[in-house]
Amino acid sequence: MRVSVASESGREDGRNEDWAGATATSAVVLDGLSEGPETGCVHGTPWYVRQLGERLLALAGNFSLPLADALSEAIRGVARLHEESCDLNHPGSPCSTVALLRQRRDAVDYLVLSDSTIVIDRASDPVVITDKSVDSVAQEKAAAATAVTDKNDKKALNALIEEQQRVRNREGGYWVAQVDPAASDHARTGTLGDVRGAALLSDGAALLVTDFHVLDWGTLLTLGYERGPSEIIAMTREFEDRDPNGAIWPRYKHRDDASAVICMMP
């Protein structure tokens, strides 16, 4: 498959907690969760997503290995790297959502863990795979935990992070790649045939559809095919900058890290 990759920080300092990469047969987008004041880790989220992403691409190259098993092994491998230097029991230990796609001869395998998105282009309507469990289990409590009205206020964001940590990787909550390999059991996985292409998106690169409502998934795919993933991010920045304080489209950041991978099948 032909693959184009773009990833851009949403911060002024350029620190990017997303990671995206691809091989000739696999593609991955990781969206590292925003860090709270304490993490227990000396490395940080950008290090975590890079280590996890590289392992996922290597393991996905083994076509006899289900993608859920590849994710489980990748989580386990990264945990081994820093178990002696970091407190992996800390609730703020670096973690990430996962969107992983693998092309077979006549089909694609997919895996999505948490709210990154894979949009699979077929002859009928696009198939959209994501998991928004985090929205229902954390944001309502976070809203009650702070009286801040400006969604870009750091206090509001830290309240959201704290509530997410309370329900992360436990039954009744939501699941991400972190330390426990069993998180892979909660991923959405499957195989689809007759695929023309796909887009893998961090939540910051899906805003044109999910929050701003200026594109639908089919139009986003066309934009990616014709102008590349960088154009998806550039257009996202235009709309973020129209509403920096989240007055029109409520959100916790003016700009989010954004990553997109566009795959076109031969």
- Of 71-80, 105-114, 154-163, 246-255, give the lowest mean pLDDT range: 154-163
Nearest-angstrom CA–CA distance, 39 and 35:
7
Strand, helix or coil at 67?
A: helix
| Amino acid 141: pLDDT | 53
Buried b (16+ CB within 10 A) or exposed e, 56-66: bbebbeeeeeb
Mean pLDDT computed over 104-120: 96
pLDDT tens string 6-39: 999 999 999 999 999 999 999 999 999 988 888 9
| Amino acid 148: pLDDT | 40
Whether 162 has a pLDDT exceeding 90, the answer reads no
Q: Give the pLDDT band of residue 140 (cuts 50, 70, 90).
A: low
Buried b (16+ CB within 10 A) or exposed e, 185-213: ebbebeeeeebebbbbbbbbbbbbbbbbe
Nearest-angstrom CA–CA distance, 57 and 64:
14
More confident residue, 118 or 37: 118
Nearest-angstrom CA–CA distance, 239 and 258:
13
- What's the whole-model pTM score? 0.93
Adjacency order of strands within the sheet including 258-264: 2-8, 258-264, 195-201, 117-122, 127-129
CA distances 164 to 40, 80, 236, 264, Å, are: 16, 24, 25, 35
Report which of 220, 179, 146 is spatially closest to residue 74, judged by C-alpha positions: 179
| Amino acid 144: pLDDT | 45
Q: Report all structural domains of the chain as residue ranges with CATH numbers, in order of start.
A: 2-264 (3.60.40.10)
CA 2 to the chain's CA centroid: 21
pLDDT tens string 218-243: 999 999 999 999 999 999 999 999 99
Tell me the residue type at 96: S
More confident residue, 137 or 88: 88
H or E segment to which residue 227 belongs: helix 217-227
| Amino acid 1: pLDDT | 94
